[in-house]
Structures are given as structure tokens and as C-alpha cells.
Amino acid sequence: MTQQTHFKIPMPPDVRDWLDKAAPRVQRSRGAHVIFLLRQEMEKEKTEEALLGGLPSSVSE
């Protein structure tokens, strides 16, 4: 099993309220939904890097 790291982050009330509503709609806990959203961003970043990887640095900046 993969070792997990736990940490606390300050969360504005409006974000917490949104998360409390969004997570159950997709049948996830708050923590699982945060991880899902972060992984989506990670994948988006990988895709963008792959697309820009073949371009000269002046074009990607």
C-alpha cells in the first residue's frame, strides 16, 4: 500500500461550502474529491508540457 501524507490547509468558508456540496454529488468524500481535482490538474499540466515540449522556449513563454 502507498504511504500517504496528511496535512491541513486553511480553507475559506465559501470553498468549504462548495466542496461540501460538490463531493457528495460525485459520491466522494471531501478529501477524495480534493485529490481527484488535484490529479486532474496534474494531468492537464502533463498534457500541456507534452504539447509545448517540442516548441522553442520563446514560443512557450
The 10s digit of each residue's pLDDT in 43-61 is 999 988 888 885 655 554 5
Could you give the percent of the chain with pLDDT greater than 70?
85
Mean of all residue pLDDT scores within the chain: 88
Angle at which helices 13-25 and 30-52 pack, to 10 degrees? 90
- Quote the pTM value: 0.72
Give the CA angle between residues 20, 33, 51 to the nearest 5°: 135
Cβ(37)–Cβ(29) below 8 Å: no
